Amino acid sequence: MIRPRTPADLPALVNALWEIHVQDGYPSVWPEQPLIFLAPTDTVDGWVAEMDGRVVGQVLLRGVSRPPGWLLDAGLTDPNLVILSRLFVAPGARHQGLAQALFQTAWAEAERRGLQPVLDVHHRNHAAIRLYERLGWQRVASVNADWADPDGTLPTVHVYLSPA
């Protein structure tokens, strides 16, 4: 089940994110303030996935009033952009279609608002890349991230736009 995210969902999301960090290395560096990572101030809207009554994942739409470096490096400065962000599903809830349902919910809402969704993805996140490309999203750039991996290097992120 996909539904709007509420503040009460955040503790369960921190737990799910920790499981993902341990298993998959996302985020590559555990945030000092995971609640801010999960609910940044530029959040426009957010949704969670529930399975068996437990919150197991989320997706956000984020504004671009202060665009991240990867967006500028990709040459994307349209004020009608909205960032599809923080998409994840806990390991024990995968392969149920929840990531795709979350993704499509955020995408549909962006389009309903007349906004062009954009996203970035770590080059090693092959499952997410397959999802985006299967749904017709177009890779428009590959740039250095504006954050560092644990070894201090700036990873490559691929930038995708939704189909027109």
Q: What is the domain-level CATH number for residue 21?
A: 3.40.630.30
For 54-91, b/e burial (b = at least 16 CB within 10 A) is ebbbbbbbbbbeebbebbebbebeeeebbbbbbbbbbe
β-pair type (156-161, 2-4) = unpaired
State pTM to two decimals: 0.91
Q: Is 105 inside any structural domain?
A: yes
Residue with tokens 């939704």: 162
CA 116 to chain centre: 15
pLDDT of the residue at 43: 95
Has residue 164 got a pLDDT over 80? no
In order of 41, 102, 144, 157, the CA distances from 69 in angstroms are 17, 25, 9, 11
- Which percentage of the chain shows pLDDT scores above 70? 100
Q: Is 71 inside any structural domain?
A: yes
Q: Is 43 inside any structural domain?
A: yes
Q: Is 90 inside any structural domain?
A: yes
Our count of domains for the chain comes to 1
In order of 12, 52, 67, 75, 86, the CA distances from 83 in angstroms are 23, 29, 9, 14, 10
What's the pLDDT tens digit per position in 15-49? Answer: 999 999 999 888 988 999 999 999 999 999 999 99
Q: Is 106 inside any structural domain?
A: yes
Q: Is 146 inside any structural domain?
A: no
Q: Is 89 inside any structural domain?
A: yes
Q: Is 108 inside any structural domain?
A: yes
CA triple 67-72-77, angle to 5 deg: 75
Q: Which domain holds residue 100?
A: 2-115
